[in-house]
Amino acid sequence: MRFGVNALSPLVAAALLAATAMAGAQSAPSAPALVLELNAAQPSDKGCRFTFVVTNNLGAELSKAA
């Protein structure tokens, strides 16, 4: 899937907002959650490459993501 820079801006903003919210929530007792963390952002020949780290704290395995 290819995204242009304009299409990624809302995605990046949402990821950063979620990361900020999660940082504040880490001090509280953690509820089951799927944590998505932006690990890296790098320029590439086709636009930008984002690397995410996903931590599954749901207490159950995930068989697929959509």
Give me the tens of pLDDT residue by residue for the chain, a chain 66 residues long. Answer: 444 444 456 666 666 677 666 655 556 667 899 999 999 999 999 999 999 999 999 999 989 877
Residues 54, 35: contact at Cβ < 8 Å?
A: yes
Which structural domain, as residue segments, surrounds residue 37?
A: 5-57
Quote the pLDDT of residue 22: 61
Token reading at 59: 């207490």
Structural domain includes residue 65: no
The separation between CA 53 and the C-alpha centre of its own chain, rounded to angstroms, equals: 7
Structural domain includes residue 66: no
Structural domain includes residue 18: yes
Residues 55, 35: contact at Cβ < 8 Å?
A: yes
Domain count within the chain: 1
